[in-house]
Structure 1
């Protein structure tokens, strides 16, 4: 089974982030512009949380808060679970499925190095299985 490192090497480790003092509206605009469903929250170059569509739906909309007035700090998920780039794809899938979240920040040696989504993991597994099937077909047919 592959590792998170393999996913980051393939997709890149571009990090989209927002300062916790910015408004929820600012975060949503950035998420729309970059076609994202989560932003990492960084303050003074330190990773402190994550802001997701789920946070928006549950902590802003359902509580009647105003997106243009509410700072990210009030609604972000603080101290999210993280993994290292050595974590296996299988372990990440189990973790994300059992804990019911879709984004997993990757931290190596106390440094934020990227983020993987459940979609990234599924795409990786499908590609890995495709390669295994092709190899088996070549082995069986002798080509």
Structure 2
């Protein structure tokens, strides 16, 4: 097993983001279109939050992602991203060791961490990325 491998080897580099001024419908559209579960919220180059499919599901009782017709989407117009996102999310740098990121996920119970180097968003790493990496070690 490669014990000192950095997360830069497994993180997603082409990160889908939303701006703090976008609306929640934009978030839902991007989550569906890109088949992702977490989106960093940016203001310029700064990561100011993260919003997840779970955050949206809490508002809509999961109806938006389960294809239920007639889901009450009015809530998406009543709230803004800042009211729903996790503000000031924990971030990690691209040279963080994969094992260390796994420890953060276990300890903090996060499922995604924006990867930020020198104040700039470089990627995102998720629990799925880490699990896939560990599974590959058994091949």
Same fold (TM over 0.5): yes
Cα pair 2:31 2:53 within 8 Å, conserved? no
**Distance across 2 between alignment mates of 1:91 and 1:122:** 13
CA distance in 1, matches of 2:136, 2:102: 15
Report how many residues are paired.
Answer: 125
Q: Secondary structure at the match of 1:68?
A: helix
Distance 1:18 1:69 in 2: 18
Deviations 1:92-136 (A, max 9, x none): 111112211110111112211000110001111111232xxxxxx
1:3-27 Cα offsets, whole Å, 9 max, x none, are 201113xxx5001001112221220
The answer to whether the Cα contact below 8 Å between 2:45 and 2:121 also exists between their aligned partners in 1 is no
Aligned pairs for 1:69-108 within 5 A: 69-108=78-117
- Structure 2 unaligned regions, length at least 5: 62-71
Larger radius of gyration: 1
How many angstroms does 1:44 deviate by? 2.5
2:111–2:127 CA contact under 8 A, matched in 1 = yes
Answering whether residue 28 of structure 2 is matched by residue 28 of structure 1, we say yes
TM-score by structure 1 length? 0.79
Q: Which residues of 2 match residues 105-124 of structure 1 at below 5 A? A: 105-124=114-133
Deviates more, 1:64-73 or 1:103-112: 64-73
Aligned partner of 1:5 in structure 2 is 8
Higher helix share: 1
TM-score using structure 2 length? 0.81
Using the TM superposition, give the Cα deviation of residue 87 of structure 1 relative to its aligned residue in structure 2, in angstroms.
1.0
Aligned-partner Cα distance in 1 for 2:85–2:8: 26
Contact kept? 2:115, 2:123, Cα under 8 Å:
yes
Q: 1:51 aligns to what SS in structure 2?
A: strand
Structure 1: gaps of 5 or more residues: 131-143
Q: Match of 1:42?
A: 42
